[in-house]
Structure formats: structure tokens, C-alpha cells
Structure 1
Amino acid sequence: MAPKKVLIVLSDAHSFPLKKPASSSNDKDQIVQQPSGFFLMELAKPLAQLLESGAPNPLQTPTVETLLAFAGNFYERRHENELIDRMRRENGFDSPRPFKSISDEELDSFAGVFIPGGHAPLQDLGDDPELGRILKHFHNKTKPTAAICHGPYAFLSTKATSPGEFAYKGYKLTSWSDAEERMMETMLGGEIEKVESSLKDSGAEMVAGAREKAGYITVDKEVVSGGNPLAADALGKQFLKMLSEKA
């Protein structure tokens, strides 16, 4: 049986920065806030598999970013919205805890950590020292760590803690790729921070390509990561397996 407590880290942001190019040579580029949140499918699919492990404990206020992943599949979207509504009622999604309220001693009670995607992590998860402290706990104790899409951007927060080193240097990781982000930039008409490049520049070995875009996951030591919603099922299954093996 898998351990009972899994920490779920959700961005508290309702938007992310989008750099809009100047309309003329006399104007300056503008940073606008693009509405966003966590990506519903990337939370709901692994969450449905993890519920048998016990009640997850979200830290941040969830806001939902659906994009186009549910196009033509109304019933799947309704089912996953119902699951999140249930978690709001029963497991504290509407009363999240700030990172600093989780002590080092309490972290010992958690078996693993899960970070879903959506663009919101670009706003507030990449440089938070308290989140960096939390992630270093799971890293140092080799506790299963799952992140998908923009979720791996949160790993950069480990650089915000002393001595400022990236905890996942040399790890093989998969995230939302630069190529996929450029497609979003075309849709939104602005420049977006690149998760893949940011992690690579910090020392991660990024795994991308056709397999990543088709939903394959990457496992390295205690970390399982995936690039987009297509990886949600496989990531959830692998995370649950790692939790069971660690127990």
C-alpha cells in the first residue's frame, strides 16, 4: 500500500507575465498579465490515482487553466471538474496553507510531492525560497517528486535558498518544451518565459522531442517528470509506483 500523505503544490497566481512587443519604434515592449492557473487535466488525472494513498494536502489556492485539452470531450472535463470540486469540499483546496507554515518537522510526514502544470507557476513558483526549502527536503531524502508541464519550473526555487545551488543539476527532466511554448506565444501574441531553457541553463539535462510531445515521461532518481497533459496518466502511475516502493 502506498504512503498516505502526498504534498500537492499549486501556484497561487491567477496570471503570468506575457511580454508584448512594441507596436512601433517609438514604443516600449509591455509586460501584461495573462490570465492563467493550474492545468485541470494535469492535476485531476494523477490525483484520481493518488486518492487511494490518502488525502493530498494542497498548499496554494487553485485556479484553473483548461486551454484546448478537453476539446470534443465534455464528459471527461465534467468528471475532472467534479473531482476538483470534491477536493475543495473535503480536502482543503479552499483553505490552502502558505509554504512557510509547513515546518521541516512536518515535512517528514509527507511521502512525496506533486507539482501540476499550467502557466501560473511562471509567476510565483520559480523563485520562492520557502518552496525551495520544501523541495530540497524531498530531494535530500530522495522522496518521490512528480512534476508535469510547467510544474518543473518550481525546481528553480531551490536556487533561492542558501547556498544558491540548483538541487537538480545533472538530472534528466522533461517539461513543457520551448517549441510548445513558441506555439503558445503565437496564439497569445507575446513572449513567455521558457521552462525548458531555464532548467537547462541551471544545469538540468532536458529530455524533449517527439516522445515527450506524445506523452512519454522521464524518470531520474527520485523525480518523475512529463511535458504536457498527454503525460498525466503515465506520470500518475509512475509516481504511485515510486511511493509504494519507497514505503
Structure 2
Amino acid sequence: MHGVRRHLSSKKVLIVLSDANAFPLRKNDGSVVDEETGFFLSELAKPLMRLLDAGYEVTFASPQGKQPNIDPLSKSTPLAFLGMWWQKRKEEDLIKKMELENNILAPRPFSSISDQELESFAGVFIPGGHAPLTDLGADAELGRILAHFHSRAKPTAAICHGPYAFLSTKPFAYTGYKMISWSDTEEKLVETLKGGEIEKVQSSLANAGAEMVDTIGAKTGAISVDRELVTGANPMAAAALGDKFVEMLNARH
């Protein structure tokens, strides 16, 4: 019976989304404006494809269970797809499939997932986009959820702005962990484009006690693995992050 339970639990992964469709941008004149955001399409789709191909069942969850938004930058920025329109179409089609066959349009509110139910999940994944800056970093229920995966050393993946969610653990659960995220340097480029100041993922995590990896590789899709944690720098890391996350999940069977 124990073996049956283990088999059932081993194929479920929790995907954490933000409810936010905007993030605060502090303009140079001191005003604060809302900039549209959401999850970054390729950062969710590429790892999700790999999870589904490997036979994993996914459940989407967010702070209040609101319908998530797609970050408009992830559909329009040339860097996001490097001109590969067919890849963008494939990823958009996958999200539409999730809308029909899964609960991405109505994520489970964090508070609805009990500690007992968390035992049934093999791992957790947090995609990026600027949305996590708005509502994931201080969410106590998310802190409870992440503490579960951390305390049991279950594979935990996050990419780009996704690692900001780790700040929800109180006390910070990942002190001394090597991790990688959207860098302050990259964010400053976005700030220049938008004419304002944005909360920094890299320095916020460093200030909390994480050991941030900051190398040339971070600009070309680097990932970092430390214990149960796998993190990715930016959209270019999405495929590698997905491959490594599946490898870590499979290794626990």
C-alpha cells in the first residue's frame, strides 16, 4: 500500500502562479504607476511541456485563485522567441490546452491546499514574469507551502522573477543556498526602458541570506542547482531548467 501511495504522489507537481496583472513602477518623478504583467509565457510553457511529456500531472495554485495574466512582454519581445514564431505558437497552444484540460484559469487558492494534501506533490515550480514581485514575496500561505517542500527536500524549481517567492518563507528557508535569478543588471535595463524603479530580485534574495550566482552564464540562460533547489536566470534558461527539474523529480522515484 505504501508503494501505491508513493507512486500516486510521485507524479504530481504544484505550479505556483501570481494573481497579479500589474506591478508597481516607481517613476523618476516619485509617482507610482501600474505596469501590466503576468507569467512569462516561455518560462511556464517550456518546463510545463517537459513535465507533461514525462508523465507528471500538474495543479496550478495562486494566492486567491484568480485567473492569471500572460506578461505582454513575453508575447512581443523579440528576445522571448528569437524570431521563432512556431515556438511561440506551440507554447500558446499548450496554455490553451491547459485552459481546456486543467485548472490554469481557476488556480487553487493557497489556503485551500492542506498540509496533508501537500504530501501528495512530488515538487513545486514557480515561473517568472514581473507578477511575483506584487504578491508572492510576502504571502504567508505560500511560505507554508514552500516550507513543506523545503523540509522534505522535494525538488523546487523557479526561474527569472520566480525565486522572489522564496522570500515568503519566514524565517527565510534558503539561507546559504546557491541560486540564480533575473539579475539587478538586467532589471536596470528594464528600468531604463520604462523610466522608473523596480524591486530587485537578485539583491532582495541576497539580503535575505541566499548566495546569488552572478556569472557571465547568467546572461545566456544559466541554471543553478543546490540541494533540492534548481533556479534559472532568465527566459533563455527555461528549457534547461525544465530538463533538470524533471531529472530531479525522476531521481526521487
Q: What range describes the TM-score normalised by the shorter chain of this pair?
A: over 0.9
Structure 1 residue 71: Cα displacement: 4.7
Listed one character per residue, the Cα deviations across residues 15-54 of structure 1 (whole Å, up to 9, x for unaligned) are 00100011xxxxxx11111100000000000000000332
- Give distance in 2, aligned partners of 1:187 and 1:80: 26
Q: Which residue of 2 aligns with 1:213?
A: 219
- Give distance in 2, aligned partners of 1:174 and 1:57: 25
Any idea what SS the aligned residue of 1:57 has? strand
Q: Which runs of 5+ in 1 are unaligned?
A: 23-28, 160-164
Q: Which residue of 1 aligns with 2:125?
A: 114
Q: Percent identity?
A: 59
**Contact 1:126 1:155 survives alignment (8 Å):** yes
Q: Which residue of 1 aligns with 2:56?
A: 54
Listed one character per residue, the Cα deviations across residues 180-233 of structure 1 (whole Å, up to 9, x for unaligned) are 000000111110000000000000000012111111210000000011011001
- Give distance in 1, aligned partners of 2:249 and 2:125: 11
Is 1:157 aligned to 2:168, yes or no?
A: yes
Q: Output aligned runs, 1:141-152, within 5 Å.
A: 141-152=152-163
Listed one character per residue, the Cα deviations across residues 114-156 of structure 1 (whole Å, up to 9, x for unaligned) are 0000000000000000000000000000000000000000000
Structure 1 residue 91: Cα displacement: 0.9
Structure 1 residue 100: Cα displacement: 0.4
Is 1:224 aligned to 2:225, yes or no?
A: no
- Give distance in 2, aligned partners of 1:54 and 1:237: 13
- Give distance in 2, aligned partners of 1:178 and 1:186: 12
Q: Output aligned runs, 1:1-247, within 5 Å.
A: 3-22=10-29, 29-51=30-52, 52-60=54-62, 61-65=67-71, 66=74, 67-68=76-77, 69-159=80-170, 165-247=171-253
Look up the equivalent residue of 1:118 and give its one-letter code.
Answer: G
- Give distance in 2, aligned partners of 1:205 and 1:35: 30
Q: Which residue of 1 aligns with 2:3?
A: none
- Give distance in 2, aligned partners of 1:128 and 1:136: 12
Structure (1/2) with the larger helix percentage: 2
Listed one character per residue, the Cα deviations across residues 87-123 of structure 1 (whole Å, up to 9, x for unaligned) are 1110111121110000000000000000000000000
- Give distance in 2, aligned partners of 1:73 and 1:37: 22
RMSD of Structure 2 on Structure 1 (CA): 1.3
**Contact 1:55 1:91 survives alignment (8 Å):** no
Give me the TM-score of the superposition, normalised by structure 2.
0.91
Give me the TM-score of the superposition, normalised by structure 1.
0.93
The more displaced of 1-10 and 82-91 is 1-10
Q: Which runs of 5+ in 2 are unaligned?
A: 1-6
**Contact 1:3 1:53 survives alignment (8 Å):** no
- Give distance in 2, aligned partners of 1:53 and 1:223: 21
How many equivalent residue pairs?
A: 236
- Give distance in 2, aligned partners of 1:182 and 1:210: 16
